[in-house]
Amino acid sequence: MLNSTTIDYRLVREWIEECQQSHEKCNNVTMLKRFDFMIPEQSMFIDVRRERIVDVITNCEYATLSHVWGECQLSLTTRSQLSQLKEIGSLSVRSLPPTIRDAMTLTRAIGIRYLWVDALCILQDDKEHKAKQIAQMHNIYAAATMTIVAAAANDANSGLPGVGSSARDLNQYITTLAGLRLAARQGFLNVSLNRSTYNKRAWTYQESSISHRLLYITSKGAFMQCCQ
């Protein structure tokens, strides 16, 4: 049975650990080396515990966010703001779109410390830095422990249902039979994706095809997809 308001963070962490420990295909070094991936130099992450931007950390476990910006005004990282955004707690007082804020909450709740989000981890007014990061985005997504897919969002203000204030669209049928509580399956991933704005964007398709673990957040629930 699904919680009508909140994602089961413990279960999400169990999904990740099950994949890491038991799925040979997902953890096959030979398969992953086809990307020849390395986290690009000058990359930055969000430290979701200390709520600040940090420079690249080698061999760290991190998540990425794949989402649709839409027409909303995003809080973008610029060269002039960078030193301030590296201060502890700087992102806690910054006005962030709900999708990004919820992704930080989700990442922290499942025990991953770092998160990569394009709007905050690329210097948007530095042409050289931006070009290098965009050219290496396939490596960033390939090396991530997990990619959070904001599949229910029309823009960055939509949030992640089951994480923040965005409501989940649940109407799960539950009955009791012979002393057992039975719950009907709530939604199918392909149906949610086919109806989504996310699924109509070329770059989101690229991000999801490169990532080897995907956590789809839809209005009907959270779905994990991996290589196996």
**Which comes out higher in pLDDT, residue 203 or 122?**
122
Residue 138 has pLDDT above 90, yes or no: no
Lowest mean pLDDT among 6-10, 101-105, 169-173: 169-173
Residue at 3 is within a domain: no
Which of 42-56, 147-161, 209-223 is the most confident on average?
Answer: 42-56
Answer yes or no: is 2 within a domain: no
In a domain? residue 130: yes
For residue 189, is pLDDT > 60? no
How many angstroms separate the CA atoms of 30 and 219, rounded?
A: 36
Q: Packing angle between helix 98-109 and helix 9-22, nearest 10 degrees?
A: 60
84 vs 106: CA distance, rounded Å: 24
Owning domain of residue 61: 9-226
Q: Looking at residue 122, what is its pLDDT?
A: 92
Query: Could you tell me if 102 and 163 are in contact, meaning their C-beta atoms sit under 8 angstroms apart?
Result: yes
Total domains in the fold of the chain: 1
pTM of structure:
0.81
**Residue 59 — φ and ψ, nearest 5°?**
60, 30
Distance of CA 184 to the CA centre of its chain: 27
Assess whether pLDDT exceeds 80 at residue 162.
yes
